[in-house]
A and B are shown apart, each in its own frame.
Chain A
Amino acid sequence: MLAPALFGQGTAPSLTLIAREGRRAIPLTLVADQEFVALDDLAAQFQLAVQESLGAVTVSYKGKTIVLTPDQTLASVAGRLISLPAAPSRSGRRWLVPVEFVGRALAPIYDSRIELRKPSHIVIVGDLRVPRISTRYDAIGAGGRLTIDASPRATSTVSQDGDHIFVKFDADALDTPATLFAAPASPTLVQGVRLVDPLTLGVDLSSRFGGFKATSQPVDDTMRLVLDLAGGQTDTTPTPSNPPSNPQSAILTPTSPPPELPPAFGQSAPAIRTVAIDPGHGGDDAGVRGSNGVKEKDLALSVARRLKALLEARLGIRVLLTREDDRNISIDERAALANNNKADLFVSIHANASMRNTTAGATVYHAAFSADAAQAAGGARPERLPTFGGGLRDVEMVPWDLAQTRHLAQSGAFSDLLIAQLGDRIPLALRPTGEAPLRVLESANMPAVLVELGYLSNATQEKQMAGETFQNVFVQAFYDTVVRYRDSLHAGEAPGDRASRDFK
């Protein structure tokens, strides 16, 4: 490959292509602070055909074309216009295109997923897991806390070897910043963090290091690994005795940090920290279609977004949506998002349909299981498993499909509270609560309900539900329900305490 210097222009770091087959470097050229890549280098890597005719440069890939015009920042990608931060420019016999070309022009027409991460100068080709890694260190008393974030989430294995802690990520590659760890001015327990192999970070510790605890928790799209490090003598804090440890056990049994340190996420354990909201259907699955064109998937997403905004703003809790836009996701993924984020409440938002177009009103469902299934889940015996740091712990195993069996009483209680709040605000169905073998609720490992806002098969209701007023009234009632539910948990009411069923 030609060295960028040949062009008499500035040099920039090369672009690293990460694919299933391995890594390749593509030289970058810096022109007026803009990074360019040579089109023929891209052509060689991505099997593109480049043709120049009538003053335009045509790049084709499997029948799809990108048309570039010299001195134009707009390009046509399979018939759609996109903009680039700079126009393509000629350098000798080669065409240079801004590096953004990879993400904006090539990615949309390419068979495999292409992701350009400009700040780290990498291009990910295919469905590879390449988490961005960032670290932060806080000195706390004689000890300290090293926080290692991996985004998108990647789990890791933590092991110790003398004065080193190794964190090995379960990923295809790591996206690490040039400086992994900025050493503080004063000497600290952590002397450095470096990449010891493509998937492993090594943490170099000072001789004062006395032991550590590792906890790992998902935070939005990030998996946060917190290493609480103790200074002083080795017998003051629990020390993992048998490195390397099992990553799963580190995640399954998050231990609390040493008492002298503040809690890892600075919360005083309110009963509801995370709510998962599942807008039903999406993408090619529109759900129910009203006679005036309202689609269940759109209504559900609109209500879910309002709910998220209100709950986050007023309660300061984390609210996750199983889908943020119009896309279809599997039913299992919906429950998995709630389970993996340890949500305290799961609510699936839907709109109903009836074969009779006069049926109206909201219904709140919770899951029902056959007697056999409930028995199977109830009979699950705890299994004794080794834990992080040695020792054994009883872990209760419940089949994924039956996770909801242990939360049915709470789900029913929440359902009753919600109906009581909705009762005088929006129309309720003649039979406003129901129990049914609903697929999305069965795997939710927390109290879970499915709300049918009303009937889209009823033209009056369709119009009503599509309106802002209805949606805001529902969202307010839901908020009031969450507050009452949280208060009932704080008050230590028995999980099965059912709110009054006296509603109209």
Chain B
Amino acid sequence: MSRQAVAAGLVGATAIALGSLLFAGLPRWYGPRAKPTGPAVARTAAPSAAPTTVAPGRRIKAHLFYVAEDGLHLTSVEHDVAYGDGPLEQAREILNAQVAPVTEPTVSAVPPGTTLRALFLTDRGVAFVDLSREVAAAHTGGTDSELLTVYTIVNALTMNLPAITTVQVLVDGKEVETLAGHVDLRRPLARNLDVVQ
């Protein structure tokens, strides 16, 4: 029993060490290499660069994206989001907040009922976001709204977490060609500021 406890402790300690390395280190290593495809604008503050001490109930500020008044763009809104320990956990918290149901007058480009199934990060800064089937099945269709849905997810991660440079959206655990027939999801996408007001 005691041997198992020691082993578990070691594993835990290693995980914490790796976590803090990923959390604190990766943003610095990968952050500057991020290549925005849209016009260059000032980056939003990166919550992941915050101090690494864990405080229960702690919250950070993150930019979430919702449909602008004109229906053609996204608008970025600062929200309090639960603090996540490390980029993966923080990304999960941001996405959960982003796909959460909204109330009037806010309009989300993510179809209602969509949930985050899983999230993976590679050491090259690619995030794989696995969303529930509603993101495609409940989608209204149309190129514009599909672009807004996709870039809500892509921008929510790439604009808040410099460690993440590109995002590939998966649906129900699988790679998909598109959500509703237009936007190519076979490759990870970089942030798009053209769609942001």
Contacts and interface: CB of A to CB of B under 8 A. Distances in A.
Interface of A: 280-281, 285, 287-289, 296, 331, 350-359, 363, 365, 368, 370-371, 373, 401, 429-431, 434-440, 442, 450, 452, 455-457
B190 A370 contact: yes
B80 interface: no
Given A288-B140, A350-B142, A355 B67 contact: yes
Interface in B54-81: 67, 69-73
B35 A452 contact: no
Contact of B145 (A281, A353, A437): A353
B9 interface: no
B142 A455 contact: yes
Interface size class of B (residues with CB under 8 A): 20 to 34
B27 to A, nearest CB: 21
B96 interface: no
B196 to A, nearest CB: 12
Contacts of A363: 143-144
What is the predominant secondary structure among interface residues of chain B facing chain A? loop
B145 A352 contact: yes
B100 interface: no
Contacts of B166: 370
Contacts of B71: 354-359, 455
What is the predominant secondary structure among interface residues of chain A facing chain B? mixed
A356 B184 contact: no
Contact of B183 (A287, A358, A359, A436): A436
Contacts of B37: 368, 370-371
B95 interface: no
Given A352-B143, A355-B109, A371 B67 contact: no
A359 B70 contact: yes
Contact of A354 (B108, B145, B186): B145
A355 B140 contact: yes
| Best-buried of B181, B182, B183 by chain A (most CB within 10 Å) | B182
Interface string B104-125: 0001110000000000000000
Interface string B154-197: 00000000000010000000000110111110110110001000
A350 B190 contact: no
B87 to A, nearest CB: 22
B100 to A, nearest CB: 16
10 shortest A-B CB distances, which residue pairs?
A353-B142, A359-B71, A356-B71, A354-B71, A439-B184, A288-B141, A352-B142, A353-B140, A437-B184, A355-B67
A436 B35 CA distance: 17
Contact of B187 (A352, A370, A455): A370
B148 interface: yes
Contact of A430 (B72, B109, B140, B183): B72
B127 interface: no
